[in-house]
Amino acid sequence: MYHQDPAVAQIILDSVADGVFTVDREWRITSFNLAAERITGVPRGEAQGRRCCDVFRASICEGQCALKETMETGRPVVNRAVFAVNTRGEQVPLSISTALLRDPDGVVMGGVETFRDLSQVELLRKQLERRYSLGDIIGRSRPMQELFDIIPVIAASDSTVVIQGDSGTGKELVARAIHNLSPRRKGPLVALNCGALPDTLLESELFGYRAGAFTDARRDKPGRLAAAEGGTIFLDEISDISPAMQVRLLRVLQERVYEPLGAVKPVKADVRVITATHSDLAALVEAGTFRKDLYFRVNVIRVDLPLLRDRREDIPLLVEHFVSRFNRLQGKDVVGVSEEVMATLMRHDYPGNVRELENIVEHAFVLVGSGVIELEHLPPEHGGARVTQAVDARAARTLRSMEGVLISDALRRHHGNRKAAAEELGIHPSTLFRKARALGIPLPEHDGRFRS
């Protein structure tokens, strides 16, 4: 049998761009190529003879060692995502693969691990995230890009803003972005949920009170308007306030003054007011439950936030954002979600919008140690309790089905107009037509060349 010269074998290993090291049955490193030196920062002479866990300090070394798994089962590991720590203390994202090493008689003499540095991939991901984010607002869809374009313009003015959107769409994040980009950014941003307090408490919270205004009011207490002086006050669920409070708020917006409870003279309010609601204020005005004059005061600038199911293309970016956030908060090394998980998340309709997606990822973080979030880590209603069901259930959650969901959603948003849907998706109408036919998506008779 032909035996290769060890020096030649080392030359071959050193020509490989991926890091490669081998270990014996005692887990001591027997070879270490140049790429391994570069990625870990450990010279070959220092690595050889040491246990691999002392050199290759990865997120899985403590309890989920891929090489140990291969040595015990005989099965290779392919492209598992992990983090390692180099000699500078920096976390390096890696993709690792493992296999057994056998002698000419087939006896296991150790193992080999290859690892690829994903730092450039991670850098590109972060650059994309910066491109598709504004503060903590994440999105690459057309509605979100339009929102990113208009927020700086809105921020530059001092006009009152109403943000309208369902629960969980990120109304407070938008308010914070407007404040942080405004001339008032050095001042405070004070938030108050109007729907969470009864009328009497809301009045004292917003306007404050003077000593003696009521029993137990022994000293002056500034309200949220005073706390927001020079900055911005964010009034969430503005539609829930009573008619009496609507009158008092109208005075603030019209005259820029208010009266704390028990005060004998008005106080000037140097604040910008941003409001938010999940309700249709115009419909409430028609129903007579919201004052028309207040409606026109708060509706100077209106921002409508889309539902998450109407911008599904943002879900992968949001998932990456939440994974990074929970890694920082919980000190974990989760690198992402599996393809099946992503397909499952893309198919859900999210009645709770972005907040619901965040909760799903947080639930998965409780169950996953490190590596990749799999279906079993999701809540039961999203497949977590049904991982062992038949393959047919898994087949429905494919990237191909995700493509079908995106096309169907775009056609629905544009009332069947294929040309408009194709423009939103960034593809040619003929491509949309071909994909829709292949996926069995029903198409309208017209092709979208003529718009009503």
In a domain, 451, yes or no: no
Instruction: Return the pLDDT at 129.
Output: 55
3-state DSSP assignment of residue 431: helix
Instruction: Return the pLDDT at 217.
Output: 66
Instruction: Return the pLDDT at 353.
Output: 95
Compute the average pLDDT of residues 253-274: 89
In a domain, 445, yes or no: no
| SS3 per residue for 157-213 | CCCCEEEECCCCCCHHHHHHHHHHCCCCCCCCEEEEEHHHCCHHHHHHHHHEECCCC
Alpha-carbon gap, residue 268 to 23, rounded angstroms: 74
Question: By residue range, what is the domain housing residue 338?
Answer: 309-397
Pair (423, 408) in one structural domain: yes
Pair (36, 173) in one structural domain: no
Among 28-42, 370-384, 417-431, 433-447, the minimum mean pLDDT is found in 433-447
Pair (426, 383) in one structural domain: no
CATH number at residue 372: 1.10.8.60
3-state DSSP assignment of residue 152: helix
Instruction: Return the pLDDT at 401.
Output: 65
Instruction: Return the pLDDT at 84.
Output: 74
Q: What are phi and psi of 312, to 5 degrees?
A: -60, -25
Mean pLDDT of the chain: 83
Torsion 295-256-278-347 (CA) sign: positive
* Percentage above 90 pLDDT, the chain: 35
Instruction: Return the pLDDT at 175.
Output: 96
- Max avg pLDDT among 46-50, 90-94, 348-352: 348-352
Q: Indicate the pTM of the whole model.
A: 0.64
Banded model confidence at residue 163, pLDDT cuts 50, 70, 90: very high
Instruction: Return the pLDDT at 370.
Output: 75
For the chain, the 3-state helix, strand and coil shares in percent, each to the nearest 5, are 45, 20, 35
Residue type at 100 in one-letter notation: L
Instruction: Return the pLDDT at 199.
Output: 79
Torsion 55-57-61-62 (CA) sign: positive
Instruction: Return the pLDDT at 192.
Output: 93
Pair (346, 384) in one structural domain: yes
Torsion 304-309-314-320 (CA) sign: positive
In a domain, 134, yes or no: no
Sequence-ordered list of residues with C-beta below 8 angstroms from that of 62, at least 6 positions apart, any chain? none
Compute the average pLDDT of residues 222-248: 93
In a domain, 428, yes or no: yes
In a domain, 444, yes or no: no
Sequence-ordered list of residues with C-beta below 8 angstroms from that of 91, at least 6 positions apart, any chain? 83, 84, 85, 333
User: Nearest-CA neighbor of 111 among 8, 13, 7, 20?
Assistant: 20
- Count of domains observed in the chain: 4
Q: How many CB atoms lie within 10 A of CB 282?
A: 14
User: What does DSSP assign to residue 267?
Assistant: E
Banded model confidence at residue 365, pLDDT cuts 50, 70, 90: very high
